[in-house]
Amino acid sequence: MAVYTEVSTKEARALLKQLKLGNLKAMKGCSGGIENTNYFVTTQLDDVIHEYVLTLFERLTMEQLPFYLRLMKHLAQRGIPVPDPTANARGDLVFEVKGKPAAVVNRLPGKSELSPTPAHCAAVGATLAQLHLAGADFAMSQPNLRGLSWWNETVPVVLPHLTADQTALIQSELAYQTHIAASSAYAALPRGPIHADLFRDNVMFDTVAGEPHLTGFFDFYFAGIDSWLFDIAVTLNDWCVNLEAGTHNPERAQSFMNAYSAVRPLTAAERELLPAMLRAGALRFWISRLWDYHLPREASMLVAHDPGHFERVLRERASHPDFLSATAT
């Protein structure tokens, strides 16, 4: 989350009134993330305090947004713990604030777990599998906008900022992923709506009886229709690596995969291509972080991510595919 567009309390009150969400009591800009403007909003309705997130979309358009918001509502209605977008009397989910498309969703309880244990990873794995199954009958369609086509468009833009060694790595990996995407095994991968950005800071936990309790997934604004395996790979690359070195954590990875597979077992094609998709997930976020780091947008609150982290993860995934054999089965 970040703040690119300043929103006044008067402007926020006008939207809250349209949505019948009560009186504005507090409003605070959010500094995490890099894509959209976000505010935590507290309201009071009938003596009850409610917590929401107001988002202004800086890149996504009015035409693109219904996919994300309708997907979140579809999942929420099927019991998946995700933010539920608020509609007005006409059923609209997208509004305009300061000339930007905007939405309001309920704020999930709990906090992000940035030092996960195998128990946290198991909860994420099981819930991700449930999300995939719950989204299988979602009627709307939109591709993963940060998929292979975007990688091919963006790599030439970031190349001037790379060393010769980095250039060789990113170009060879892009060629490898293009080859994988043309394979029959890739065509056989199960597909549907994916989160595509399920990092540690996009999941919330509470503690119940001393045990972690997952309270929700949020920030669905990279979601799209893609292979479920890519979603698994992106999640493994954050939850089940050691952040400093980018190395694989087998205990957390096995806990995640056991829990996911107990809900939705992997197909033969998925087991075959898991190492390649882990590389794809690392490449995707290395490219986007290079782009955001070297070609930043202005924001009043912004924390840039280190692109070198996913370069290290990619090198580890490409150099040691054998350590995934137990996880993939």
Return the structure tokens found at 207: 């503690």
pLDDT in tens, 290-312: 999 998 866 544 556 889 999 99
Residue 18's H or E segment, with its range, is helix 9-19
pLDDT of residue 2: 63
pLDDT of residue 301: 44
Q: Enter the tokens of residue 34.
A: 């890099």
Give the pLDDT of residue 53.
95
pTM beyond cutoff 0.85: yes
**pLDDT of the residue at 327:** 60
pLDDT of residue 239: 98
Which regions in the chain score pLDDT beneath 70? 1-2, 32-34, 297-304, 323-329
Distance from C-alpha of 328 to C-alpha of 307, rounded to nearest angstrom? 27
Annotate 174-213 with DSSP letters as a single string.
HHHHHHHHTSHHHHTS-EEEE-S---GGGEEEEEETTEEE
What residue has token string 């449930």? 130
Q: Render pLDDT for 99-155 as a digit per residue (tens, 0 to 9).
A: 999 999 999 999 999 999 999 999 999 999 999 999 999 999 999 999 999 999 999
Tell me if 256 sits within 8 A of 231, measured CB to CB.
no
Residue 283 identity (one-letter amino acid): L
C-alpha dist (Å) from residue 133 to 67, 137, 183, 258: 17, 8, 25, 16
d(CA 99, CA 10): 15
Q: Which pLDDT does position 31 carry in this prediction?
A: 72
Burial class of residue 142, CB neighbours in 10 A (0-12, 13-18, 19+): middle
